[in-house]
Amino acid sequence: GICYTARECQAIGGTSIGSCARGFGTCCYQQMTCGGSTSNNCTYLISPNYPGTYNAAQTCSMRITRSSDTCQLRMDFVDFESIKPDEFGVCNEDQFTVEGEMKFTYLCGSAPTDWHFYLDVSGKANPTVFNFMTTSVSFNRRFKIKVTMVPCDQK
The pLDDT value given to residue 78? 92
- Residue 155 — very low, low, confident or very high, per pLDDT cuts 50/70/90? low
Domain that holds residue 16: 1-31
pLDDT at residue 5 in the model: 87
Cα 122 from Cα 150, distance rounded (Å): 11
Residue range 37-46, pLDDT digits in tens: 998 888 999 9
Same domain? 66 vs 56: yes
Residue 51 preceded by cis peptide, ω within 30 = yes
Please indicate, yes or no, whether residues 108 and 41 belong to a single structural domain of this protein: yes
Q: Taking the model in full, what pTM does it have?
A: 0.86
Whether residue 86 sits in one domain with residue 11? no
Q: Based on the domain organization, do 3 and 56 belong to the same domain?
A: no
Q: Please check whether residues 42 and 91 belong to one and the same domain.
A: yes
In this structure, what CATH number is given to the domain that contains residue 116?
A: 2.60.120.290
**How many structural domains is the chain composed of?**
2
pLDDT tens-digit readout, 115-148:
898 999 988 889 999 999 998 888 999 999 999 9
